[in-house]
């Protein structure tokens, strides 16, 4: 299967997030891709350490689940769907719709953007 985008080895940083989200401009994600399997490690800001696992869709979109440990020492879990946008310089910006799967199950939106030179 051929994919519209490869995320393997790319690094992303938070650009914006809903008020109930915990990712910020200090959170850095390191993506890895093997076929249609996506995984990532992330940390920074309010996130001490996190992981993601999911799928790369044929159109380059992403569907994944995430879990992380925040500064309050709470384990948070959720799910996310991301839609890619290719920036004029070739980097990827991801427009995300997410939902916590713990607590009150709030929803939100965020944007993460590929770091230059990643």
- The string of pLDDT tens digits covering residues 22-41 is 999 999 999 999 999 999 99
- Which domains, ranges and CATH numbers included, belong to the chain? 11-114 (2.40.128.30)
CB contact set of 72 (below 8 Å; sequence gap of 6+): none
pTM greater than 0.85:
yes
Give the DSSP per-residue string, 2-20. Answer: --S---TT-EEEEEEE-TT
CA distance 23 to 31: 15
**pLDDT at residue 5, rounded to an integer:** 84
């Amino acid at each position: 299967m051929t994919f519209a985008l490869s995320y393997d080895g790319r690094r992303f940083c938070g650009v914006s997030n809903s008020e109930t989200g915990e990712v910020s401009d200090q959170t850095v994600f390191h993506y890895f891709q093997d076929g249609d399997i996506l995984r990532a490690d992330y940390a920074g800001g309010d996130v001490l350490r996190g992981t993601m696992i999911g799928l790369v869709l044929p159109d380059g979109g992403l569907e994944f689940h995430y879990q992380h440990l925040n500064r309050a020492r709470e384990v948070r879990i959720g799910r996310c769907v991301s839609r890619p946008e290719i920036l004029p310089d070739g980097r990827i910006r991801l427009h995300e719709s997410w939902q916590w799967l713990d607590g009150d199950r709030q929803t939100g939106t965020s944007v993460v953007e590929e770091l230059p030179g990643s």
